[in-house]
Amino acid sequence: MSIGNLEALANDIAAAASPFRGYLNDLRQKYQPLQDGAVADYIPELALADPNDFGLCVATKAGQIFEAGDCDVLFTIQSISKAFIFGLALEDHGREYVLSKVGVEPTGEAFNSIVLDEATNRPYNPMVNAGAIATADLIEGANSAERLKRVLEMFRRYTGRELDINMPVFLSEKATGNRNRAMAYLMLNFGMVSEKIEETLDLYFQQCSLMVNARDLALMSATLANGGVNPVSGERALAETYVQDVISVMLTCGMYDASGEWCYRVGLPAKSGVGGGITATAPGKLGIGTYSPLLDAKGNSLRGIRVCEALSRDFGLHLFNAAPAVHDLEAWLQGGDDAARW
């Protein structure tokens, strides 16, 4: 057995023994009864999601994985893809050019609002639909197949597995996404995006239709927390220099018009999607992935919000936290004293 395998085995044993697993199960039980909110139905296929599904996963910088609930259920990544596509666009073109095409300013408006910064001739940020479409426009590739292949390859590096497109969701969104199409053509009118707009819209709908589970989302954020290197596979998913770009836009814009409130309460860079997923990163520490398709009025997963609030509070994960945490994360992960008391 190689040293790498031995380390992985040691991590697995530590993860199995850690009280963290029980803690996550308790969170799941506590928030499972929440029935407020609704499954998204503006993309008809999304209305088929099971409102009872609920999974939460934490992946640490050391590659330990803790799961509770439905962490194998696949759902579409939706807007969560936007943060990672922004990273790929930065790798393709560099910071200066990307920022000439899309800003980093929160809109305070809904994710699908039709607002553009006409003063700078850019959509406001890569996390709202307009900005995400302009960002998808920047993804390099000789043709549509090659561009999609590069996107799939990028997500494989973050998650450690090949993701598939949910074809019914893709077709459903392509057939009904007239608002996004209108936005794209408005941006074309202003010269904010290139002429290959239909191809880019397809790429955008495809990136949103990729199927992930809560574990994938935890690993994606753990990769960001680990400076762009997937902590399980050791593979680099994003150039180190752009990790902070992606994470900071997640913090300011990742939860749409709830981003300010989220920053105040949870204080972790995060991204949500109308499929019911949330990914959140605690830089230098861990990634969180949650799945529950019941959404609040702003399109964020209700149970997912509660889970992230609890984890942030109990382990002092808020970026600006300066007070002692309720539980010592490191001790828990290693099964130390604090763990024994629990």
Residue nearest to ligand GLN (CB): 79
Give me the least distance between CB of 256 and ligand GLN, in Å please.
7
> Catalytic: 242?
no
Q: Which is nearer to ligand GLN, 61 or 82 (CB)?
A: 82
Q: Which is nearer to ligand GLN, 20 or 155 (CB)?
A: 155
According to the binding rule CB under 6 A, does residue 295 interact with ligand GLN?
A: no
According to the binding rule CB under 6 A, does residue 78 interact with ligand GLN?
A: yes
Angle (nearest 5°) at CA 211 between 209 and 212: 135
Near ligand GLN by CB under 6 A: residue from 129, 230, 279, 312: 129
According to the binding rule CB under 6 A, does residue 79 interact with ligand GLN?
A: yes
According to the binding rule CB under 6 A, does residue 279 interact with ligand GLN?
A: no
Give me the least distance between CB of 154 and ligand GLN, in Å please.
18
Near ligand GLN by CB under 6 A: residue from 273, 283, 289, 316: 273
CA distance 281 to 220: 9
Give me the least distance between CB of 266 and ligand GLN, in Å please.
18
According to the binding rule CB under 6 A, does residue 37 interact with ligand GLN?
A: no
Near ligand GLN by CB under 6 A: residue from 299, 307, 312, 333: 299
CA distance 244 to 31: 32
CA distance 222 to 228: 8
Containing 89, the helix (H) or strand (E) segment is helix 80-93
CA distance 217 to 280: 8
DSSP secondary structure, 271-328, as one string = EE-TTSEEEEEETTTEEEEEE---B-TTS-BHHHHHHHHHHHHHHT-STT--SPPSS-
Which residues, at least 6 apart from 17, have a Cβ–Cβ distance to it below 8 Å? Answer: 335
Q: Which is nearer to ligand GLN, 79 or 230 (CB)?
A: 79
Near ligand GLN by CB under 6 A: residue from 54, 86, 111, 291: 111
Near ligand GLN by CB under 6 A: residue from 73, 183, 193, 274: 274
Distances from the Cα of 101 to the Cα of 148, 183, 328, angstroms? 20, 15, 43
> Catalytic: 101?
no
DSSP, collapsed to helix, strand or coil, labels residue 69 as: strand
According to the binding rule CB under 6 A, does residue 113 interact with ligand GLN?
A: no
Which residues, at least 6 apart from 77, have a Cβ–Cβ distance to it below 8 Å? Answer: 163, 207, 208, 209, 210, 211, 212, 217, 273, 275, 277
**Binding characters for ligand GLN, 156-185, by CB under 6 A (x = yes):** -----------------x------x-----
Residues that bind ligand GLN (CB under 6 A): 78-79, 111-112, 129, 173, 180, 208, 273-274, 299
Catalytic residue list: 79, 82, 204, 256, 274
